[in-house]
Amino acid sequence: MDRDQSQVVTTLRGTPGYLAHEWLSSAITEKVDVYSFGIVTLEILCGRRNLDHSQPEEDKHLLRLFKKKAEEDQMLDLVDKYSEDMQLHGAEAVEMMRLAAW
């Protein structure tokens, strides 16, 4: 393919709430995929989306809420309350949250 037949797109693309901060600085590495995987893992464990506009302002962003609960040592509060399995294995879910945020 000749150079005049190709096209380069330099605009930022992605889903809000899943983009790693590295996207903003243009220093893209494999870490951006790891960040997105961690966010999805937190969503599964917590039973909610990363950006939930139905929540109060202070709880709207899952990652911000996660950091607050981690500082308060109350991460068990984040475990999906509607999943019996998650509730039965709360300690393991919290460990998975720690891995997701690592």
- Domains in the chain (CATH in brackets) are 3-101 (1.10.510.10)
- What is the rounded average pLDDT for all residues in the chain? 84
On the question of pLDDT at 38 being above 70, the answer is: yes
User: Whole-structure pTM over 0.75, yes or no?
Assistant: no
- The backbone torsions φ and ψ at residue 30, rounded to the nearest 5 degrees and listed phi first, read -65, -15
On the question of pLDDT at 11 being above 90, the answer is: no
CA 92 to the chain's CA centroid: 18
Q: State residue 53's pLDDT score.
A: 92
Q: What percent of the chain has pLDDT over 70?
A: 71
State mean pLDDT over 49-78. Answer: 94
Q: State residue 9's pLDDT score.
A: 57
